[in-house]
Chains A and B, each alone.
Chain A
Amino acid sequence: MIPMGTGAVMFAVLRRDLQAALRRGSEWSNPLLFFLMVCSLFPLGIGPERQQLAVLAPGIIWVVALLASMMATDGLFRGDYDDATLEQLLLSPLPLYPLVLAKTFGHWLVSGLPLSLLSPLLATILQLPSEGLVVLMVSLLLGTAVLSFIGAIGAALTVGLRKGGLLLSLIVLPLYIPVLIFGSAAVKSAIDGMAYLPPLAVLAALLMTALALAPLAIGGALRISVDQ
Chain B
Amino acid sequence: MRWPLAARVSLSSPDLKLHNLYSERDERVLFAGLSLSVSAGDVVQLAGPNGSGKTTLLKILAGLSSRYEGDIHWRGENLITQREDFRQHSLYLGHGSGIKAQLTALENLRWSCAVRGQHVADTDLHRALTTVGLGDFIQQPCYSLSAGQQRRVNLARLFCCPARLWLLDEPFTAIDQRGVAEIEQWICDFADNGGMVLLTTHHPLSLPRPLRRIELGRT
Known contacts A1-B4, A23-B141, A84-B98: A16-B111 contact under CB 8 Å: yes
Interface of A is mostly: helix
User: Of B64, B100, B118, which one neighbours A4 at CB under 8 angstroms?
Assistant: B118
Q: Please, which residues of chain B bring their CB within 8 A of the CB of A99?
A: 115
Q: Check A84–B94 contact: CB distance below 8 A.
A: yes
User: Does A88 interact with chain B (Cβ within 8 Å)?
Assistant: yes
Stretch among A89-97, A168-176, A198-206, A213-221 lining the B interface: A89-97
Known: A84-B96, A227-B65. Contact between A12 and B110, CB under 8 A?
yes
Contact with B along A82-114 (1 / 0, CB 8 A): 111101111111100001000000000000000
For chain B, the bracket of interface size reads 35 or more
Which A residue's beta carbon lies closest to that of B113? A1
A44 at the interface (CB under 8 A from B): no
Count A-side interface residues using an 8 Å CB cutoff: 29
The interface centre, meaning the residue of A2, A9, A88 with most chain B CB atoms within 10 A of its CB, is A88
Q: Are B119 and A3 in contact (CB under 8 A)?
A: yes
Interface centre among B90, B110, B117, B160 (most CB of A within 10 A): B117
Say yes or no for A166: interface residue by CB 8 A criterion: no
B88 interface residue per 8 A CB criterion = yes
Give CA–CA (A20, B111) in the complex, Å.
12
A3 and B103 form a contact (CB under 8 A) = no
B107 within 8 Å of A by Cβ? yes
Q: How far is the CB of A26 from chain B (nearest CB, A)?
A: 11
Q: Closest 4 A-B residue pairs measured CB to CB?
A: A84-B96, A12-B114, A93-B87, A23-B102
Residues of B within 8 A of A (CB): 4, 62-67, 84-85, 87-88, 90, 92, 94-103, 107, 110-112, 114-120, 124, 141, 160, 162
- Enumerate chain A interface residues (CB-CB to B < 8 A): 1-4, 8-9, 12-13, 16, 19-20, 23-24, 79, 82-85, 87-94, 99, 226-227
Question: Assuming A1-B162, A12-B111, A92-B116, what are 13 further A-B pairs, CB within 8 angstroms?
Answer: A4-B117, A9-B114, A9-B117, A13-B114, A23-B141, A82-B96, A83-B98, A84-B95, A85-B99, A88-B115, A89-B115, A93-B117, A94-B115
